[in-house]
């Protein structure tokens, strides 16, 4: 039987980010995908104006129904969390599922380039720390890793020793394996990680394409998870996800409205 995955993330009405970006990829990779929206968002936050509906009250009614019906998932992937109350409810559910063998993936979506995203408040940081405590694998970007660990963000980058120290500080918060994306290490753009199964660190470099699209982290997440659920090694899955995102950015770098994100359905055959 194919592994079933639940996406707990926001859903944007306009733009290919979060659930709207991840669901097509994981479905194309042959996985039965289910979703639970943490928020309904009018459009990607990059437009500057948006409307958000927090779905916490809806979620509190969903979990008892699913429990009564006996629904179970092989993996759960969480993304945007709308509030501390919501984080508590979702982390409790994830912890219960993890005890039954469910793998928990957490993308602590909060910010990038040293700043929090539009609409993200400092209370979100505490919410994400709670999510990290129940995770098998987390993959914040460098900005998010700094906020989660109260580490100063350094635009000039860090040394490899400092990067590994940041990984270890994240591990103290509870996750078993850690990936940090978008790091500048000794002058080279890198993704760095720790694989708890192999008890080893790894560093993968890449060439940055100076174009911004919302949702590229969600594409990375979906491809990464898809290959991990095919029993691929963490370092290999990470490299494939990195290369996929790079190709998609390059193919779409001349798009007129980049705030929409990448139209992922046009490129599923590349995954």
DSSP assigned state of 131: H
Asked whether 170 and 148 are in contact (CB, 8 A), the reply is yes
Model confidence, pTM: 0.96
Name the residue with tokens 């078993």.
176
Residue-level pLDDT, tens digit, the chain, 271 residues: 579 999 999 999 999 999 999 999 999 999 999 999 999 999 999 999 999 999 999 999 999 999 999 999 999 999 999 988 999 999 999 999 999 999 999 999 999 999 998 777 788 888 899 899 999 999 999 999 999 999 999 999 999 999 999 999 999 999 999 999 999 999 999 999 999 999 999 999 999 999 999 999 999 999 999 999 999 999 999 999 999 999 999 999 999 999 999 999 999 999 9
DSSP assigned state of 141: B
Name the residue with tokens 């860090």.
158
> What phi and psi, each to the nearest 5 degrees, are found at residue 204?
-125, 125
């Amino acid at each position: 039987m194919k592994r079933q995955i639940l996406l707990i993330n926001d859903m944007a009405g306009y733009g290919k980010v979060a659930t709207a970006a991840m669901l097509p990829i994981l479905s194309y990779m042959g996985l039965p995908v289910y979703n639970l929206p943490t928020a309904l968002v009018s459009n990607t936050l990059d437009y500057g104006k948006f409307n958000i509906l927090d779905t916490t009250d809806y979620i509190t009614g969903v979990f008892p129904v699913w429990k009564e019906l006996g629904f179970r998932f092989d993996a759960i992937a969480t993304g945007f969390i709308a509030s501390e109350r919501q984080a508590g409810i979702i982390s409790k559910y994830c912890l219960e599922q993890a005890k039954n063998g469910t793998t928990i993936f957490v993308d602590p979506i909060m910010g990038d380039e040293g700043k929090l995203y539009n609409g993200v408040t400092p209370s979100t940081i505490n919410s994400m720390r709670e999510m990290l405590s129940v995770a098998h694998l987390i993959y914040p970007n460098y900005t998010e890793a700094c906020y989660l660990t109260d580490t100063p963000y350094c635009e000039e980058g860090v040394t490899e020793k400092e990067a590994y120290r940041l990984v270890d500080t994240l591990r103290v918060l509870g996750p078993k394996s850690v990936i940090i994306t978008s790091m500048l290490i000794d002058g080279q753009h890198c993704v760095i990680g720790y694989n708890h199964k192999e008890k080893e660190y790894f560093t993968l470099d890449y060439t940055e394409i100076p174009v911004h699209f919302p949702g590229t982290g969600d594409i990375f997440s979906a491809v990464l998870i898809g290959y991990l659920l095919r029993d691929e090694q963490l370092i290999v899955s990470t490299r494939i996800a990195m290369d996929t995102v790079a190709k998609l950015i390059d193919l779409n770098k001349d798009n007129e409205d980049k705030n929409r994100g990448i139209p992922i359905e046009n490129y599923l055959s590349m995954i």
